[in-house]
Amino acid sequence: MILHILNRSPLDSRVYRQAMMAMGPDDRLLLIEEGVQGALPQLVRHFEEIAGRLFVLREDLAARGLEGQCDDSVLVVDVEGFVTLTEEADKSVSWF
């Protein structure tokens, strides 16, 4: 299983589409930095194919005043959870 890490909002960049196309059936996607915008209810539809495998970094939500506003389908992790995700994955790929 590969952990994909995305730091771009779907509003700013289409790199998320490349990430989605590269993802295997068990791979996970973590949204960080501006990427956390993708966890908002109005944008999460871009990631509906990977429901249950979409994570978002709590600290980057909080830094943007978005904590508590993301879609219920997204799994919120803090930076310790980010580390855990990298432990559980065989490797990681960063998309930017």
Interaction site with another protein (CB under 8 A): 5, 7, 32-34, 59-60, 79-80, 82-83, 86-87, 91-94, 96
User: Least separation, in Å, of the C-beta of 95 and another protein?
Assistant: 9
**CA atoms of 25 and 43, how far apart (whole Å):** 22
Whichever of 51 and 92 has its CB closer to another protein, that residue is 92
Q: CB-wise, 75 or 93, nearer to another protein?
A: 93
Q: Is the Cβ–Cβ distance between 15 and 38 less than 8 Å?
A: no
For residue 7, what are its two tokens? Answer: 């730091």
Q: Please state, as a whole number, how many other Cβ atoms lie within 10 Å of the Cβ of residue 21.
A: 7
* 48/90 with CB nearer another protein: 90
Residue found under tokens 């919120």:
76
